[in-house]
Structure 1
Amino acid sequence: MSNSVVKIWFSYAFQHLGDVVDACLFEVESNNNSFVLSGSTLAEFSGLKVVHDTVHAVVKRRKSVVTVMPTNHITEKKTASNSEPSGITADNSKHYLVTTPLIIKKEIIGVACFEFQHNDTTQTSDYLGKVETTVAWLRCLSQLKPGAGSQKSELALKITATALSQSQSGEAYMAVASQLASFLQCKRVSMGFVNNHDVHLHTLSNTSHDVTRQNIIKSIEVAMLEAVDQRETIVYPPHPGSYYTTQAHDALIRKHSGEFICSVPLIIEGKVTGAVMFERQGEGNDFDDKTIELCEQLAELFSPILHYRHLHDRPVLEKMKDTCGRIFSNILGTDYLGFKFVVSLFIGLFVFAFYLQWEYKVTAGASLRGAIERVITSPEEGFIKDASARPGDLVNAGDTLATLDDRDLKLEVLKWSGKHKQVSKEYRKALAIHDLSKIGILRSQLSQAEAQMKILNLKLNRTVIKTPISAVIVSGDYTRELGSPVERGQVLYKVSPLENYNVVLNVNESDISLIKVGLQGELTLSAAAESTFELEIVKITPVLTAENGINYFQVEATLLSTPKFLRPGMQGIAKIEVGKHRMLWIITHKMIDWVRLKLWSWW
């Protein structure tokens, strides 16, 4: 964009912004990317430190900045200029400095500073809005082709300002049409919209009673439609070599005494939204190539502004209808097919999961243990002499598991055996001499010795520890503890029969409410992952255990069939069937419960 266009914009903005006291413009130098003063209403204003500080801040942030002018800077500026700037009515009035970057095509071409004098009817945010609106005018001017003269740039700026400054879109259309008619010396400028593949006239400049007749309006609409259908600028009379259709334009001129017409289609983002028609009369007022190019540039400049203002000012119901139609068109159209396929697949899966009923199974860790466990204890105090049994060994009833050291007991047996012989000998002598008193005493001693020998023989028999039933050894291993002492009643072994097993399940506390006695499920063991075994819940214990920070309830179940290879202590995974639920509930209920707990803890 040329410097002259920027200066025209700056001058026009200073004149049309209300409550502006002073302003200055800094433009970037192409050779060193530094900013130099390009224009200022007051030299002292552009030299203030606060101005330069805000300019650097704006360049760094690439955003507009609003600051309050310090009182000493206002006084300094007035003192330096030896006069009070225009628009200042009181020394104690508050001034605002609005500094904005001029960004065209993502590049900063300059920085503009505007000093506003605050009044009670204006809010601070209004100043920033006014400045950003004027920057929008500059962006519109940037759409002009290189080489456009200052007069054309000023016209473009005026038209852009007019399109943006009107309060209603209808007023903006009429004001733009009137300015175009005045500058281009047109008898009439008409604007129309495309609606349902047809053109409807919206605005006529220089409107009088005779041009509002329906037949004239219809002829203008048909001529505009002719340009819209061909998506090209139509000039009548056509230039030599032109191959565009101009029948509707010819009919308009013949029926309504026209002379020269230029119809330009309004194209926004590749879509024709309407058309603008320029009509001239008089000798020498035909549309030459430069005028046609100017009409096309101006139409390209103001058409997006007026179009979007028109869309914004529509009734709410019409906006809703248009939004729904656009959404429906986007859904059924051919754009974004991959995204639509993914969304459709997601919706289909959601509906499928919402209505599909599926058997929900509670998963829990499981371990096997015998239905009956027999404890084998030490019958006497002593020391382990021999132990050959280990956990996991299969034993039959009467098999020896371990033996205790019996040397002390054997010595006791020899002791009482000798005493028994001695007392027997003395007893026979007493019988021979008929010593009745001695016979009674010796008889008591013989009975005592016989009793002690029986007790010692029983203890010797009990030093051999045997299993009472055919079972598997669950715990107890003294093969590496020979000679270790044991107490009377001390548990040496635990054995469990192979016929019946219980399954102990660790059910998470969040699922325990779904578990009931009598429910059935399946068990898969780590030792036989390819097989499943049916089980049935028989007991729910109110015992809570913690493992890895998670609380579990122990639930007991029985196997409906017992394979021979099962052993107590085997681990696996059990799944308990608790009934049918919606697939969506199965997938999301744990997450929903977690969210509920978190929300409850927060509120």
Structure 2
Amino acid sequence: MTLPPADSAQRLAIALQCQARALSGDTAQETATAVATELATRLRLRAVHMVWHVGGRRRQRATAHLAITDAEARPLIDAAIDEALDQHTPIAYPPADDTLQVTRAHAALARHIGGGIHTFPMAVGDTADGAMLIETDTPGQLDASALALIEQVVALTAPVLQLRAERDAPLYHRLAAIVRPGGRAHRPWHRRPLALATLLAAGVLLVIPFPAGVTAEARIEGEIQRALTAPADGYIQHAFVRPGDTVKAGQVLVELADREVKLERRRQESELAQHDNAFAAALSQADRAQMVVQRARADETRARIALIDHQLDRGLIRAPMDSVVLTGDLDQAQGTPVQRGEVLLVLAPQARYRLMIEVDERDIHLLAPQAHGRVALGALPATTIDFSVVRILPVAAQRDGRHFIEVEARLDSPPPEVKPGMRGYARLDIDAAPLAAQWTRRIRGWLRLQRWAWFGL
């Protein structure tokens, strides 16, 4: 079916339909196949071949309405397409009488498959990276209106096919297209802004040092911690504080049950009264020996009473200093038995904290003895606190599959919101280095270790 030259509306509708088919494809192959199929169906063509280049070297193709692929015809089709691309012009065979085009490849293809051949280069800008080759059943099947329609379809679909092909190209082809001197527009490298910016950025990363740091997990602890233990076996009678409470020096925190101790004290008081009465009777009888015995027994009983009073006083566990309670939730433990030496509460002085940083063992050699840094806590993410390293513990630890070395640091001016037990991330300052060296530090260290493990070098 050919279109009359005057039916421009129908020709435009077909061209837009082909462009819509091109836009519906996700890949270059789908785009080219959809356009070729739509055009071959509308114009009743024997076959439509679309060939384009990827990365300037690899050639891809799509074919519509060709049931059997002739292996001998493919090189002839490629030669005909190259012939049209070299001349940058559409070629028809049989040619018109007044043409001055070279058509040897088209003539060879026509002798092999028969019928008419039309080739249209697909140009984007000043460069043609592909072409559309059309086979007809008879020479002269396409009139001027149909040829104009095909040229219009090629002009509308060529940019879409180029974008799909560039997106589908391998990553190394896309990177090469950015930095290669020629590029699509054949511009020198110093006139390609993206290539120039890439080279300058690479030079900055490789040459200019930038401030560097080591990031590690950190936690807040009290500068000193005082554990309050049970003075004797007994039971918890009252607990007056909970973790997080602020206490004063001498404040009663926990009271142990003292009923049995008080009963023992009354028994000792009764025994002391008996010894005092016996001493008075011996004194009245002038029995000096009995007086000495009863006085000794009375002194022994008084010593026991003093010991019991001391135990009663120790049953009231008091705060040794102004501090905050870290651990020991005894509010629900009333009546719970405790053993002598069992830890009941842990206290830490207020506003006297230390920062413990868990530095990965692979980064510990980068730290200076008096390093500085900043820490951001999970409870205060918008506030960074300066700190100074006090010492690096000479022992490695392991937790959750991580090997690290603890670094003790002192907070310079902690805000009032800081509490023991808070965790966050600390960043310690190290010597400046280029960003490329910072980003590859772990990889280079692993490679050195593997080289030593494999070759001993």
Per the shorter chain, which TM-score range?
A: 0.5 to 0.7
Which letter does structure 2 place at the counterpart of 1:109? D
The answer to whether the aligner puts 1:297 opposite 2:122 as a matched pair is no
Which letter does structure 1 place at the counterpart of 2:231? P
Shift of residue 471, structure 1, vs aligned partner = 0.4
The answer to whether the aligner puts 1:427 opposite 2:279 as a matched pair is yes
Tell me if structure 1 keeps the 8 A contact 2:227–2:343: yes
| Cα separation, 2, equivalents of 1:420 and 1:432 | 19
| Correspondence for 1:333 among 173, 180, 186 | 186
Shift of residue 546, structure 1, vs aligned partner = 3.1
Tell me if structure 2 keeps the 8 A contact 1:143–1:301: no
| Correspondence for 1:483 among 335, 339, 348 | 335
Q: After TM superposition, list the pairs within 5 Å mapping 1:174-573 onto structure 2.
A: 269-270=85-86, 296-298=102-104, 328-330=181-183, 333=186, 342-573=194-425
Tell me if structure 1 keeps the 8 A contact 2:189–2:196: no
User: Residue 451 and residue 299 in structure 1: after superposition, are their counterparts in 2 closer, same or farther (change >3 A)?
Assistant: closer
Partner SS, residue 346 of structure 2: strand
Shift of residue 394, structure 1, vs aligned partner = 0.5
Partner SS, residue 447 of structure 1: helix
Shift of residue 446, structure 1, vs aligned partner = 1.2
Shift of residue 361, structure 1, vs aligned partner = 0.9
**1:162-191, Cα deviation, whole Å (9 max, x unpaired):** xxxxxxxxxxxxxxxxxxxxxxxxxxxxxx
Tell me if structure 1 keeps the 8 A contact 2:182–2:189: no
User: Residue 142 and residue 557 in structure 1: after superposition, are their counterparts in 2 closer, same or farther (change >3 A)?
Assistant: closer
Which letter does structure 2 place at the counterpart of 1:408? E
**1:298-319, Cα deviation, whole Å (9 max, x unpaired):** 48889xxxxxxxxxxxxxxxxx
**1:314-334, Cα deviation, whole Å (9 max, x unpaired):** xxxxxxxxxxxxx75448725
Which letter does structure 1 place at the counterpart of 2:320? P
| Cα separation, 1, equivalents of 2:367 and 2:78 | 74
Structure 1 match to 2:69: 108
User: Residue 296 and residue 448 in structure 1: after superposition, are their counterparts in 2 closer, same or farther (change >3 A)?
Assistant: closer
Shift of residue 525, structure 1, vs aligned partner = 1.2
| Cα separation, 2, equivalents of 1:431 and 1:341 | 118
User: Residue 495 and residue 107 in structure 1: after superposition, are their counterparts in 2 closer, same or farther (change >3 A)?
Assistant: same
| Cα separation, 2, equivalents of 1:535 and 1:142 | 71
User: Residue 295 and residue 409 in structure 1: after superposition, are their counterparts in 2 closer, same or farther (change >3 A)?
Assistant: closer
Tell me if structure 2 keeps the 8 A contact 1:141–1:301: no
TM-score (norm 1): 0.47
Which letter does structure 2 place at the counterpart of 1:360? A
Structure 2 match to 1:97: none
- Identity percentage of aligned residues: 26
Tell me if structure 2 keeps the 8 A contact 1:376–1:493: yes
| Cα separation, 2, equivalents of 1:585 and 1:271 | 51
| Cα separation, 2, equivalents of 1:518 and 1:366 | 17
Tell me if structure 2 keeps the 8 A contact 1:140–1:301: no
**1:489-531, Cα deviation, whole Å (9 max, x unpaired):** 2222111111321111111222111112101000111222121
| Cα separation, 2, equivalents of 1:380 and 1:601 | 57
Which letter does structure 1 place at the counterpart of 2:85? E
Which has more radius of gyration? 1
| Cα separation, 2, equivalents of 1:393 and 1:295 | 97
| Cα separation, 2, equivalents of 1:560 and 1:512 | 22
Shift of residue 141, structure 1, vs aligned partner = 9.5
User: Residue 108 and residue 444 in structure 1: after superposition, are their counterparts in 2 closer, same or farther (change >3 A)?
Assistant: same
| Cα separation, 2, equivalents of 1:601 and 1:108 | 57
Q: How many pairs align?
A: 313
User: Residue 330 and residue 377 in structure 1: after superposition, are their counterparts in 2 closer, same or farther (change >3 A)?
Assistant: closer
User: Residue 341 and residue 593 in structure 1: after superposition, are their counterparts in 2 closer, same or farther (change >3 A)?
Assistant: farther
**1:93-141, Cα deviation, whole Å (9 max, x unpaired):** xxxxxxxxxxxx996337xxxxxxxxxxxxxxxxxxxxxxxx69x9459
Structure 2 unaligned blocks of 5 or more: 1-65, 89-94, 109-179
Tell me if structure 1 keeps the 8 A contact 2:189–2:195: no
Which letter does structure 2 place at the counterpart of 1:421? A
| Cα separation, 2, equivalents of 1:358 and 1:561 | 27
| Cα separation, 1, equivalents of 2:403 and 2:395 | 10
User: Residue 441 and residue 142 in structure 1: after superposition, are their counterparts in 2 closer, same or farther (change >3 A)?
Assistant: closer
| Cα separation, 1, equivalents of 2:427 and 2:295 | 74
Structure 1 unaligned blocks of 5 or more: 1-104, 111-134, 145-265, 273-288, 303-326
Partner SS, residue 242 of structure 2: coil
Which letter does structure 1 place at the counterpart of 2:409? A
| Cα separation, 1, equivalents of 2:247 and 2:352 | 16
Shift of residue 404, structure 1, vs aligned partner = 0.8
